[in-house]
Amino acid sequence: MKRAFPILAIVTAALLSYGLYQALVAAPTDRMQGDVYRIIYYHVPSAWVAFLLFFLNFVASIQYLVRPKPVADRLANWVAIAIGVVLCVVPFVYRPLPGGMEPSALATTGLAITGIYFLIKKLFSELTVDALAVVTAEVGVVYCTIVLVTGPLWARPVWGIWWTWDMRLTSTLVLWLIYVSYLLLRKFSTGSQTPLLAAALAVFGALDVPLVYFSIWFFRTQHPQPVIGGGGSIDPRMLHVMLINLLAFLCFAGLVCWSRYRLEILQREVEETQALEALLDRRPR
């Protein structure tokens, strides 16, 4: 695994450089918005990566809560399987889907949810899954911050205002605040119940992710409608640049999470060793 890290770092640096060139130079200029639209090549991939990291945090938090209880653990396994089955079947039975969503996109999402749940369960123990939750929340907040910064930078010249309190923007801000609260709880609370409280808060916060995503279909909003997976269209050259930057941001998030996870595990081992030494020093001699 240690040998793979520098390889991933080199690949990530190459993808980020190539994505930057494609976004600022090679991609065609939007006829309506001009060059200001190029910020979407960072805004949209950052949002997707943030959603993915918050979902990983949600799964890790669920597993941290249910694994110590065999009955709850088995129930969570069946729920994960049921979600995958429902999302694979319902889109092809219930028509039309809201916002022109593609049935194949929902089916793929269902399979991904089930697969990720059991992959995390296989790769992480009851103790390390909590470290995964912390790491994905930290990196997810960084990407969500990029979304909240780049959005107003695009909105000011296009809409004429920096911010508007519509559902998509407001729910995204609420999502960011929830996970910042999660990190503050993990940072400043030292009680033994802190991981349990943080996991419960993460589960609550994850409920806001679908609200953010579907808000533009179910509420009137100024935010542009989706052009991928929502029945819209996008210039193939623009889509190519978008996907390149998405891959680059995913690799960079994986690299940062990998480094932060190793540091978190080492920090916990040091804290356990120090606690054990302090306990031994207090023994009567």
User: Each residue of 165-210: pLDDT tens digit?
Assistant: 888 888 889 999 999 999 999 888 777 788 889 999 999 888 888 7
Q: Which pLDDT score is estimated for 225?
A: 61
Best CA proximity match to 64, nearest among 154, 185, 198, 170: 198
- According to the model, what pLDDT value does residue 223 have? 65
Percentage of the chain beyond pLDDT 70 is: 87
pLDDT of residue 141: 95
Quick check: 133 and 61 in contact, CB under 8 A?
A: yes
Q: Where are the alpha helices (DSSP H) in 22-160?
A: 40-66, 70-93, 103-123, 128-159
Cβ-in-10-Å burial (0-12, 13-18, 19+) of 226 comes to middle
For the segment 35-79, what is each residue's pLDDT rounded down to a tens digit?
888 888 999 999 999 999 999 999 999 999 999 899 999 999 999
pLDDT band at 140 (very low <50, low <70, confident <90, very high): very high
Question: Residues 80-103: what's their mean pLDDT?
Answer: 75
Name the burial class of residue 173, with classes exposed (0-12), middle (13-18) and buried (19+) by CB atoms within 10 angstroms of its CB. Answer: middle
The pLDDT > 90 percentage for the chain reads 42
pTM here? Answer: 0.89
Q: Tens digit of pLDDT for each residue in 202-253? A: 998 888 887 877 766 666 666 666 655 554 567 778 888 899 999 999 999 9
**Distance from chain centroid for Cα 268:** 24
Q: Please state, in angstroms and as integers, the Cα–Cα distance from residue 282 to each residue in 229, 272, 277, 285, following that order.
A: 61, 16, 9, 9
More confident residue, 282 or 16: 16
What is the arithmetic mean of pLDDT over 127-133? 92
Backbone angles phi, psi at 34, to 5 degrees: 80, -155
- CA 223 to CA 227: how far, in whole Å? 12
Q: Is the pLDDT higher at 112 or at 280? A: 112
Q: What local confidence, expressed as pLDDT, does residue 121 receive?
A: 92
Cα within 13 Å of Cα(149), Cβ side: 8
Please give the mean pLDDT across all residues of the chain. Answer: 85
Q: Say what the pLDDT of residue 109 is.
A: 82
